Amino acid sequence: MTLILTPNIPDPDGFYDELLALHDGLSKEESDALNARLILVLGNHIGDRDVLRQAFEAAKPPPEDG
């Protein structure tokens, strides 16, 4: 399977809102913990190690120019 890197989320603005709302009122530490839990939950849902590896690649910081 290939990682989907084209738009795939219906109502992107709504999704983004919900994601940010999740962090409302949390300290930096709590937010970090929440993000980590979220990654683990999503990772498990995907399950496919190959797709996950492609996602890790896609998420890496872009190489510096020059």
Partner 1 sequence: MGYDLAFRLYPYAPVAAQGMAAQRHPVVIVGGGPIGMATALDLGRKGTPVLVLDDHEGVGQGSRAICFAKRTLEIADRLGTGGAMVDKGVVWNVGKVFHGDNKLFEFNLQPEDGHKNPAFINLQQPYFEKFLVEEIRRAQAEGAPIEIRGKHAVTDVVAEDDFARLTVVTPDGPYQIEADWLIACDGARSPVRTAMGLSFDGRVFEDNFLIADVKMTADFPTERWFWFEPPFKNAGQSALLHKQPDDIWRIDFQLGWDIDREAELDPVRICERVDAMLGQGVDYELEWTSIYTFQCRRMEAFRHGRVLFAGDSAHQVSPFGARGANSGIQDADNLAWKLDLVVKGLAPEALLDSYSSERAHGADENILNSTRATDFLTPKSEISKVFRNAVLELARDHAFARPLVNSGRLSLPCVYDGLPLNGPDAFEGPARTRVGAPCVDAPLDQGFLLDRLPGAFTLLTINADMPAPDAVDGVALNRLALSTDAHDPSGALRERYLGAAQSAVYLIRPDQHVAARWKAADAGAVGAAMRTALGKEPPA
Instruction: Name the site residues for partner 1 (rule: CB under 8 A).
Output: 32-33, 36-37, 39-41, 44
Q: Which is nearer to partner 1, 26 or 39 (CB)?
A: 39
Report the nearest approach of partner 1 to the CB of residue 60 (Å): 15
Task: Let me know how long the chain is.
Answer: 66
Query: Among 20, 47, 50, 46, which residue's Cα sits nearest to residue 35?
Result: 20
Report the nearest approach of partner 1 to the CB of residue 40 (Å): 6
| Distance of alpha carbon 8 from the chain centroid | 13
With beta carbons less than 8 A apart as the criterion, state whether 2 and 48 touch: no
Q: Which is nearer to partner 1, 12 or 39 (CB)?
A: 39
